[in-house]
Each structure stands twice: as C-alpha cells, then as structure tokens.
Amino acid sequence: MEEQNPFKNAQKQLDDAAEIMNLDRHAHALLREPMQTVTVNFPVRMKDNTTKTFTGFRVMYNNARGPGKGGIRFHPHEDLDTVKALSAWMTWKCSLANIPFGGAKGGVICDTKSMNDFELEALSRQYIRSIAGFIGPKTDIPAPDVYTTPQIMAWMMDEYSKIKGHNEFGVITGKPLETWGSEGRSDSTAMGAMYVLREAAKMKKLNLRKAKIAIQGFGNAGSFAFELATKLFGSKIVAISDSRGGVYLESGLDFNKLKDVKERTGNLESYKGAQKITNEQLLELDVDVLIPAAIENQVTKSNADKVNASILLELANGPVTPDADGILAQNGVFDLPDFLVNSGGVIGSYFEWAQNTQNYYWTKDEVYQKLDTIITKSFKDVIATQKQYAEKGKKINTRMAAYIIAVGRVAAAMKARGWY
C-alpha cells in the first residue's frame, strides 16, 4: 500500500510543512528527493570459505548545511526507500538541532543474528570499501543504528583509515572510547530527552520530583531514560515494559532491582510486588509523563484518546502516527516530537566528530553542558515558532513547528548558495 512506504510518508510530511510555511516551489522540489543515492553489491568471504553477495545502500539526502550524517543499519528487511526516508528525517533532525550537518543514512541487507563475529567484521569492512568514495569526515559521516555497534564502527573506521593511508577517526561516530569515541555519547540520546522534559515540565508547571512516569521499552534509550529521570529529577517510574510486556508499581520501581530481574530472568515480570501489564495498558496509564522508547506506531488513532499523560515525550522514532496527532492535541496532551526529543544522539555524534577533527577531547561534564545548551535552544525554537504561527491565526502542533524550522533552515542555506 502506498501509505506504508516510509519515503512517501517522509515526502508527505515535507509537503504538509511546505504548504503551511509557503515554501518556494523550487526549494520544495529539491527537498523532495535525495541528492545522492548509492547501491552497492559486494562479496563477503564467509567462515565456511564460500562467498556470499550482499547489497548495501548509502543515501546522502542533502548537504546544503554540511556533510551528510546518519547511521548504518544491518537488517534483513532493509530497503532503499526506508534508507531514503531515514536520510530525509536525519536532514531535518540535524537542521532543527542547528548542527553543521546535512542528512544521510545507510544500510546493508543482512541477518546479523545468523552471522558470527568473523563474518560481521568481513561484511563491515567490505561495505566500507564499497562506499569509501562517498563517505569521509568532510563529505558524509556514518554512525551506529539498528544492529550495528561501537565495535562495528571501530572496524569501519579502521578499514577507511587503511584505504586513506592514515588514521581518519572523524569518518565515523559512535566509536568505542579506545578509538576516540566521545565521553557521554552512550547516554546522550536519553540525556537530551531529559533536558527537553525539564523544559516541558517548567512550561506546564509540572513538578518532576512528584511526577509519575511510564516508559515503554527497556533497551538503550528506555533504560537510560529510567536511570536519568530518577537520578536528575527524583521522579517516580511507575511502569516499564519490553517486547514481552511490562510491570506497574504505584510506589515506583527501583532501577537496580529491575536491571537485576531482567538479567536473571530475561523478563521484567518477575519484579517482586509489581503488577503485570501489557504494552497497550502501559500507554493508557494515569501518569504525568509517558515516554515511548521502543518502536514506531504505538500511539495511533485507535488509542490516542486513551492517553492520560499530560506530557508525551517521543524518545523512540515514530511512536505516534500522524492520525493520532490531532486527537492528542484536542485532549491537551503536550506531545514532543521524536526528532526534537531524541536528537541528543546525533548531537553527541556531532561532538565526537568535532573532537576527532580538532584532536582535542572534552570531559563528560563539558559534553553534557554543551548538549543541554543545544537541545534546550531547539525546544525553545519550537515553542516560539508555534506561538508565532498561533499569532498569525494558524494553529500548528510541535511536530509541524519543528518541521517548519528544520525545512526553513535547509531551504535558506540552499538559497544562499544559489541552488534556487
């Protein structure tokens, strides 16, 4: 079905923003398609000495504001249209954060679960050899994404450095600290989301010390969000879930106990004294803050009406469907869009790249403080844009306000460069 195509969705979102902001039609046409799309087919020698051919992609969507930036996914169902959509969204995310990057994304069709480390390393190196002419610290800088890890980033950086004949640490971000990754990069996504939550709570006059929070997902993003919300604000996390379901405890869950239960039993449900809940029930709990931090399409037109939280912090990518937006707004839910809330990840990557290119390294505190400055400014820009449009009689949600800022900045850069 056409609306299932992620790239068509990304184009539709751009079209909607273009209409509201009255975007120049030449700029609009340029921004509807990626500037560069690369498909590569390459051989990998497998452990049993056979050779297998893999297909990979690298899409550089737009570089008017700086080199391409975006992760690499290793996924059995990867396809070009998904990579194109993700590269468009990276363009808007980098622009909203006002960091000097365009947007890009890459991927390889493969099933990492059926591969051993030997094959994974060979695949990572061959993919980089195939796209080496299209990436670089000044052209396009990849990072980890679904099923790619800091170790894979280190192999890729090493392969690229060998091709160039010198170390190029700045070609890739999300590397381990040993190969000049950045302090604070591992939890920068969740930390950024906490700064956004702090500002949203101030605006809504919500005391986070007394707030009840529910988090969907206990992976990288969700578990750091849990830990940080309790540590920074003293909030109570009353519910959490993973793909198998979740737990609810009115008096608040304990992070270390939960981690221990998950490690020992493989699920969250064995947490003593907590009530079992489904992922659907979690979304409908009577809490102050709801943080979807798992997968896309969780709040839809069929359950948006049942969201009881006053703040919805979209830590996952795409957790709220477009048809749920209006319902949430009508019910007074303050919904903060994914490409603002989770932009701490790419901002952390920007810091890593900036440190690599200067060969000068920062402390964790410096990283957090700079992250706070950038993401808090993004939040304030979104709220100010929403207000400006309201004053002109146009009611827009925070997602549209974020789009208007992001698309406007890229269009302005293209105009200044004489592209239209």
Distance CA 182, CA 192 (A): 15
Q: Which is nearer to ligand NAD, 15 or 296 (CB)?
A: 296
**How is 153-214 classified by DSSP, letter by letter?**
HHHHHHHHHHHHTS--GGG-SS--GGGT--TT-TTHHHHHHHHHHHHHHHHHT--GGG-EEE
Shortest Cβ 84–ligand NAD spacing (Å)? 17
Residues 245 and 255: their CA atoms lie apart, in Å, by 17
**C-alpha distances out from residue 27 to 64, 214, 408, 414, 417, Å:** 11, 41, 10, 8, 12
Which residues make beta-bridge pairs with 412?
none
Tell me which residue has tokens 């800022």.
Answer: 405
Give the nearest distance from C-beta 223 to ligand NAD in angstroms: 8
Q: What is the DSSP letter of 274?
A: P
Is there a contact between 107 and 78 (Cβ–Cβ < 8 Å)? Answer: yes
CA distances, 13 to each of 28, 31, 84, 402 (Å): 12, 12, 14, 11
- Residue closer to ligand NAD, measured from CB, 21 or 153: 153
Q: Which of 69, 84, 93, 105 is flagged as catalytic? A: 105
Give CA–CA dist 128/349, Å, rounded: 19
CB of 318 to ligand NAD, least distance (A): 7
Strands 236-242 and 245-248: antiparallel
CA distances 162 to 122, 159, 211, 214, Å, are 14, 5, 51, 47
The least distance separating ligand NAD from the CB of residue 234, rounded to whole angstroms, comes to: 23
Closest approach of ligand NAD to the CB of residue 125, in Å: 24
Strand partners, 212: 236
Closest by CA position to 346, among listed 52, 93, 110, 134? 93
DSSP SS3 for 132: coil
Beta carbons of 95 and 406 less than 8 angstroms apart: yes
Asked about 105 being catalytic, the answer comes back as yes
Least distance in angstroms from the C-beta of 186 to ligand NAD: 8
Q: Which is closer to ligand NAD, CB of 20 or CB of 295?
A: 295
Query: Closest distance between ligand NAD and the C-beta of residue 114, in Å?
Result: 18
Residue with smaller CB distance to ligand NAD, 59 or 341 = 341
Q: Which residues bind ligand NAD (CB under 6 A)?
A: 189, 216-222, 241-243, 279, 293-295, 315-317, 342, 345
**Cβ distance to ligand NAD smaller for residue 67 or 222:** 222
CB of 56 or CB of 222, closer to ligand NAD: 222
**Closest residue by beta carbon to ligand NAD:** 219
CB 63 within 8 A of CB 87: no
Nearer to ligand NAD, 375 or 414 (CB): 375
Report the catalytic residues.
105
